[in-house]
Structure 1
Amino acid sequence: MNTKRFRVALVQYHASGQSIGENTEKACEFIRQAAAEQADMVLFTECFLTTYQFPAICETLPPLEEIRRDPSFAAWRDAAITDEDPHLAKICALAGQLQIGVVITAFSRGRQLPRNTAWVIGRDGSILLKYSKVHTCDFSDEQYLESGDEFPVCTFDDVRVGVMICYDREYPESARQLMLGGAELILVPNDCQTMGPRLRELSVRAMENMVGIAMANPPGEQMGCSCAYDPMVWDEDGLALENEKFVAAPHFEGLACVDFDMEAIRQYRQREDLGKYRKPMAYRRK
């Protein structure tokens, strides 16, 4: 791999297949396309394999004790996948065959309820990282999910990679924890609307943590806008730089590649001072 260039393929596609099998086949199509375009990593949207859907009974947000007895809720809960799921295994096998990284997503089995999960798959097809969404949207039907409780970071080739999912981006602590864990690049599976303010959030997360950020979001009205941001906001002379690398059109459907210059990011992190003079003792509530 050319360490100066890290190419991320952003999948802007609404997975709406009638089965996890159909969505898996579509994911494989995108992985093959990304490999043909010499991408290092493919980034999918939130819950791509299982789709981001909840049973109709969840719409009115009844108590959990009530919906546990509903057959549709039980079927949805039981459809969440494990690390040994054959569809996930198929994605891993293709990644290994094509020697490409993949960030694939689905509802996964939790202790009692599903989790909103992303797996980072290495070039050899192994799972390098499993991350479950910490900041679930508990004001919505996501309250029926289990939240994750950590922000792990893995090494892909020589790049330190972390993941945050959709609503995680609204909390500065998410990206900061990943930065403190050594992340140089943060990948964001997403599925939401009103992208204007959220693009600005991602730009700031990249700047304040001196990390590259890439996000994949399904297409649609006020949706789409899959994007990438550099951390570099000024040059060596202190002159301002635009850190937006790419933003897809809202209705664009397909795959788009963006290149991160990891050597430039590392040199910037060494040269600049954002995050270097933190005062953690002062941040603690007394």
Structure 2
Amino acid sequence: MTNRMPPTDAEDWRTWTPHEALAPEFGKAGRDGEPVLIIRATGSPNAYGKWTCKAADIAGGKTYDVGADYLPIGIDATRADVYALLTWSDAEGKLLTRDYVDQTREPLEGGWIGLRRTMTAPAGAASVELELAFRWSAGGEVAWRRPSVAEAAETAQPPIRTVRVATTLINKFAGSRADNLKDMSDVLDQAGAQQADIVCLSEGVYEQGVGGRGYGRFGEPIPGAFTNFLASHARKHRYYVIASLFETDGDMLYNAAVLIDRDGSIAGKYRKTHLPLFEAEMGVTPGSEYPVFDADFGRIGILICWDSYFPEPARLLSLKGAEVLFVPTQGNARIQSLARAVDNGVHVVVAGMWEEMPSRIVDPRGHVIAELSEEAHGVAIAEIDLGKPYYKNWLSVGDADGEARSLFRRERRPGTYGDLTI
């Protein structure tokens, strides 16, 4: 397909800086036999500059392959202050959306790094400006080459990635594991009848209401009887299941969540990292890792109850690529679940137990799209599209629409976060 961007030695490329006091050094040069654009630091840690070029003949609704390569010289190759950005405009010049070229970051020969993204132009788009930037570094320089905006082949169209996610609620307990399994079987069958792709059960339903809580009095290994029960339903309905239980492993007791895949196999396990005091005093040991799991529809992460009250675990999972966070819990934490969705631009699925409306599905804007009241015993399902971007006007990008998940990932300043480890 035709590249709508001119080569880097064309006169169409223009320099930009917020004001002269922040201007870096700009230049054009040859490197490895081809023309490149240069942005060089001046010794000031506040310098900020871009090379920009606009391409016309853009059609809203069409999909484009976008890319550019950069060579970092004297700076960290992955630093967030080197970026490529797309600014889409309509025929009158009104800004529509601004999007980072950040879908893939590919190491190339000679130290070059390729930025790539396939995306659909927003409705009404007539032009796009590609911005190649370097900022906020006292030293080093960046070379840019091979800018490209080309209509994507038919096979490169972004896929529709819909998934039916189910949350559940069980909060009436007869006092035995057998009764709890019967109740879980009921809601798991309900989810299957509604063609769920993945089902999340509340925290500790298996042991809830059963006497003798404490170290040495309950818990079982993974795999074990409970995971076998979950596996039978996963195979029967061809869905994923997330459920928590107290896991025994040698002398240790953990509050764990297990992921069962559509074939009934154990696809992963997470151990609760943040323990409330009473749980620690029961003899439960905290986990120390934040795994993400690849399902056939996308990447997911799991938090358990008290974990979700802290922003860092959700952020870590999001940075590892989790697109949906599942939270089996006994508490409610409504505000926290909305915040974790908005903080990270992801869907959050909460399976609760107590208080008002304890189970819910939240979209990346913090909107509750399905929920269950405390009086309900059953399932709530929402169909979500993991390929759908969620834009908001003036979200970082000025008078245009910005997409939260990409912005939050690209505009973090981890170099300033050292005190978080205190």
* TM-score, normalization by structure 1: 0.79
Task: Select the structure that is richer in helix.
Answer: 1
Q: CA deviation at 1:52?
A: 6.9
Counterpart CA distance in 2 for 1:15 and 1:46 is: 14
Query: What is the one-letter code of the residue matched to 1:282?
Result: T
Q: Is the 8 A contact 1:104 1:120 kept in 2?
A: yes
Judged with a 3 Å threshold, the aligned counterparts in structure 2 of structure 1 residues 247 and 90 are, in CA distance, closer, same or farther, namely closer
Name the counterpart of 2:343. 208
Indicate if the aligned counterparts of 2:197 and 2:239 stay in contact, CA closer than 8 A: yes
- In the alignment, which residue of structure 2 is the partner of 1:113? 252
- Name stretches of at least 5 consecutive residues in structure 2 with no aligned partner: 1-158, 392-401
Which secondary structure does the structure 1 equivalent of 2:257 belong to? strand
- Contact 1:41–1:102, Cα closer than 8 Å, also in 2: yes
User: In structure 1, what is the equivalent of residue 409 of structure 2?
Assistant: 275
Shift of 1:103: 0.6
- Determine if contact 2:370/2:381 at 8 Å carries over to the other structure: no
Whole-angstrom distance in 1 between the partners of 2:372 and 2:188: 19
Matched, 1:44 2:178: no
Contact 1:15 1:51 in 2 (8 A): no
Q: 2:344, 2:404 within 8 Å by CA — same for their partners in 1? A: no
Aligned with 1:202: secondary structure?
Answer: helix
> Helix, strand or coil: the match of 1:114?
strand
Alpha-carbon shift at residue 206 of structure 1 (Å): 0.7
The answer for the alignment partner of 1:29 in structure 2 is 186
Deviations 1:229-249 (A, max 9, x none): 111x3xxxxxxxx62223322
Q: CA deviation at 1:148?
A: 0.9
Is 1:229–2:362 an aligned residue pair?
Answer: yes
Q: Is the 8 A contact 1:155 1:161 kept in 2?
A: yes
Q: Distance in 2 between matches of 1:269 and 1:81?
A: 43
Shift of 1:212: 0.5
Report which stretch shifted further, 265-274 or 43-52: 265-274
TM-score normalised by the chain length of structure 2? 0.55
Q: In structure 1, how many angstroms separate the alpha carbons of the residues matched to 2:405 and 2:412?
A: 16
1:73-222 to 2 correspondences below 5 Å: 73-74=215-216, 76=217, 79-138=218-277, 140-143=278-281, 144-192=283-331, 195=332, 198-219=333-354, 222=355
Instruction: Name which of 16, 20, 27 aligns with 2:173.
Output: 16
Closer/same/farther in 2, CA of residues 260 and 36 from structure 1, 3 Å limit: same
User: Is the contact made by 2:177 and 2:206 (CA closer than 8 Å) also made in structure 1?
Assistant: yes
Residue deviations 1:188-235 (CA, integer Å, cap 9, x gap): 00102xx4xx2121111111111110101125xx3443111111x3xx
Greater mean alpha carbon deviation, residues 251-260 or residues 45-54: 45-54
Partner of 1:263: 387
Amino acid at match of 1:216: A
Q: Any idea what SS the aligned residue of 1:182 has? A: coil
* SS state at 2:409 partner: coil
Q: Greater Rg, structure 1 or structure 2?
A: 2
Considering fraction of residues, name the structure with more strand.
Answer: 2
Q: Give the CA deviation at 1:113.
A: 3.5
Write the letter of the residue equivalent to 2:319.
L
CA offset at residue 53 of structure 1?
A: 6.3
Q: What is residue 68 of structure 1 aligned with on the other side?
A: none
1:61 paired residue number? none
Report the equivalent of 2:127. Answer: none
The answer to whether the 8 Å contact 2:175/2:208 transfers is no
Letter in 2 for 1:199: R
Query: 1:146 and 1:88 mapped to 2: Cα distance?
Result: 20
Deviations 1:10-54 (A, max 9, x none): 111126243333322322222221111011111100012122767
After superposition, the Cα gap between the structure-2 partners of 1:245 and 1:180, relative to the gap in structure 1 and judged at 3 Å, is same
Judged with a 3 Å threshold, the aligned counterparts in structure 2 of structure 1 residues 9 and 271 are, in CA distance, closer, same or farther, namely: closer
Partner of 2:4: none
Change (3 A) 1:202 1:39: same
Q: CA deviation at 1:94?
A: 2.3
Partners of 2:212 and 2:260 in 1: how far apart?
A: 29
Offset at 1:181? 1.4
Q: Give distance in 2, aligned partners of 1:37 and 1:271.
A: 29
Match of 1:70 in 2: none
Q: Identical aligned pairs, as a percentage?
A: 25
Output the CA distance in 2 between the equivalents of 1:227 and 1:202: 9
